[in-house]
Structure 1
Amino acid sequence: MDLSVTVLGCATPYPSVDNPCSGYLVSHGGTRLWVDAGAGTLGPLQRHTRLQDLDAIWISHLHADHSADLLTAYYALLFADVERDPVPLYGPPGTADRLAAFLTNGPERSPVESAFAITELHDGHQVTVGSATLTTAAVEHGIPAFGLRVEAGGRSLTYSGDTARCASLVELARGTDVLLCESESAEETADMAHHTPEHAGRTASEAGAGRLVVTHVGRFLTSRDAVTRASSRYSGEVSYAEPGTTITAG
């Protein structure tokens, strides 16, 4: 069994015609984990798995380009053709109330807990989901935000979420087989909240990652430029998270 990640989308800060916002399906054997639920990702998710077959959802932070499709998933889970118990949902502090605040349009709070079994993330959070171990680390994005390491079958995959360069992401990705790292910023600024491609390369190099996949590339960059620039700081294999592709760890 391979540990793999399928790119549902990686656009920022809004979907393009052929690229939804951030969302990934991490798979190992029969385990299915929806990582980030950015706008437009619920559609392509269903090319690969059904909502009733998901083992869990994991959300890095509550910006809409990483979480908006939780809203439509709520309607699918409660009011459509999906029959299952609430989906385990791992998200930042306040996830339940944020969802309910948007969904409620009357005197009674929308029952988000009937759709999702919500666990709030914290630095160092660890849980087993199916055959995979999920480890979370707090990262630096100006709001509560987290990176994720998934380990299964002797392989590992690390996802940065959205973050400036930080020691906690390097440690989370230490020796990982694949680092899926955001590269939104075109240039370095004093108030960084994201990686530049060069930052992604440095993070991969310092972590000793086996392979770097740049994702969440900003609108003022091309995927080719992002790969080229990341390669200037990292000597290993660098590729782009092309929507629809599946990347295998190892």
Structure 2
Amino acid sequence: MSDGRLDLTVLGCATPYPAADNPCSGYLVSSGGARIWMDAGSGTLGPLQRYVRLDELDAIWISHLHADHSADLLTAYYGLLFADIDLASPIPLYGPPGTADRLAHFLTNTPARSPVESAFAVTELHDGHRTTVGPLRLTSRAVAHGIPAFAVRIETAGASLVYSGDTAPCPSLTELAEGCDVLLCEAESDRPPSEGEQVHHTPEDTGDTARTSGAARLIVTHVGRFLTPRQAVARAATHYDGPVDHAAPGVTYSIG
């Protein structure tokens, strides 16, 4: 049974490659004994094991297939099938269309396709996809990143978390985040784009999305390397009056 609380542990939030003390994007979301690895960016599998073994995960959710959000699925595959883990059944993996084939393309080294489905039970996301993992309810929405990409709202009876993944400001994210307890939102861009399509939030955009959606709290993540976390938080706060934090690696936030 869940007590209505939802815990968010930051495994890493660096972009586009890991820092010495900060893996790429990855988070552990847990409630009532259910545990979800949310994004599996480069380097996140290591710190994940401080909290949970791979075979103890109830699900994996992937926002999009850029390496800084998904690359550690490759090493997780080897860990699940060819190491010290006796996997009872494949781990449910929710990801963008083509996830299984993308993994298999990278992992296959012989004429026989690597058995990706022996490690992961893959479900392809679509706009409005809904599922449950233990006491957690997940709703995914397609967002604007130039490739298939998704944000997710994770809820229990007493708490709600919305994670943007990577995206430009867009109505689907704002709608998904309406009235949430915590919005975990990327802020990779240090300035609005001068030309071409915008595919990330600036810190000011992050504040705007939190304010417009009525989020109770904003956690800024995935901050670009031309900004410090302190700068990103300060700039987001100029567009949002609620509490603003930075997703520091190793920190656990209790929601609800």
TM-score normalised per structure 2: 0.97
Residue 210 of structure 2 corresponds to residue 207 of structure 1: no
1:153 Cα offset (Å)? 2.8
* Equivalent-residue separation in structure 2 for 1:147 and 1:83 (angstroms): 32
Deviations 1:116-145 (A, max 9, x none): 000000000000011100000000000000
Amino acid in structure 2 at the alignment position of 1:44: P
1:166: which partner in 2?
A: 170
* Equivalent-residue separation in structure 2 for 1:176 and 1:149 (angstroms): 8
**Are the equivalent residues in 2 in contact too, given 1:3–1:153 (CA < 8 A)?**
no
Amino acid in structure 1 at the alignment position of 2:192: E
1:197: which partner in 2?
A: 203
2:252: which partner in 1?
A: 246
The share of aligned pairs that are identical, in percent, is: 69
* Equivalent-residue separation in structure 1 for 2:234 and 2:141 (angstroms): 28
Amino acid in structure 2 at the alignment position of 1:199: D
2:161: which partner in 1?
A: 157
1:4: which partner in 2?
A: 7
The 3-state SS of whatever aligns with 2:126 is coil
* Equivalent-residue separation in structure 2 for 1:180 and 1:248 (angstroms): 13
**Are the equivalent residues in 1 in contact too, given 2:186–2:220 (CA < 8 A)?**
yes
- Which consecutive residues of structure 1, in runs of 5 or more, have no partner in the other structure? none
Count the aligned residue pairs.
Answer: 250
Aligned positions of 1:209-248 closer than 5 A:
209-248=215-254
1:240 Cα offset (Å)? 0.2
Aligned positions of 1:1-250 closer than 5 A:
1=3, 2-84=5-87, 85-189=89-193, 190=195, 191-250=197-256
1:162 Cα offset (Å)? 0.1
- Which consecutive residues of structure 2, in runs of 5 or more, have no partner in the other structure? none
**Greater shift after overlay, 186-195 or 165-174?**
186-195
What is the RMSD computed on CA atoms of the aligned residues? 0.6
Deviations 1:168-191 (A, max 9, x none): 000000000000000000000142
Amino acid in structure 1 at the alignment position of 2:118: S
Amino acid in structure 2 at the alignment position of 1:98: R
* Equivalent-residue separation in structure 2 for 1:36 and 1:68 (angstroms): 9
Amino acid in structure 1 at the alignment position of 2:246: Y
* Equivalent-residue separation in structure 2 for 1:50 and 1:195 (angstroms): 33
**Are the equivalent residues in 1 in contact too, given 2:137–2:155 (CA < 8 A)?**
yes
* Equivalent-residue separation in structure 1 for 2:9 and 2:211 (angstroms): 23
**Are the equivalent residues in 1 in contact too, given 2:12–2:44 (CA < 8 A)?**
yes
Amino acid in structure 2 at the alignment position of 1:228: A
* Equivalent-residue separation in structure 1 for 2:209 and 2:154 (angstroms): 18
* Equivalent-residue separation in structure 1 for 2:13 and 2:66 (angstroms): 14
Please identify runs of 4+ aligned residues in structure 1 that moved more than 3 A: none
Amino acid in structure 2 at the alignment position of 1:12: T
**Are the equivalent residues in 1 in contact too, given 2:32–2:134 (CA < 8 A)?**
no
**Are the equivalent residues in 2 in contact too, given 1:124–1:137 (CA < 8 A)?**
yes
* Equivalent-residue separation in structure 2 for 1:243 and 1:135 (angstroms): 25
1:247 Cα offset (Å)? 1.0
* Equivalent-residue separation in structure 1 for 2:146 and 2:46 (angstroms): 29
1:83 Cα offset (Å)? 1.7
* Equivalent-residue separation in structure 1 for 2:10 and 2:192 (angstroms): 26
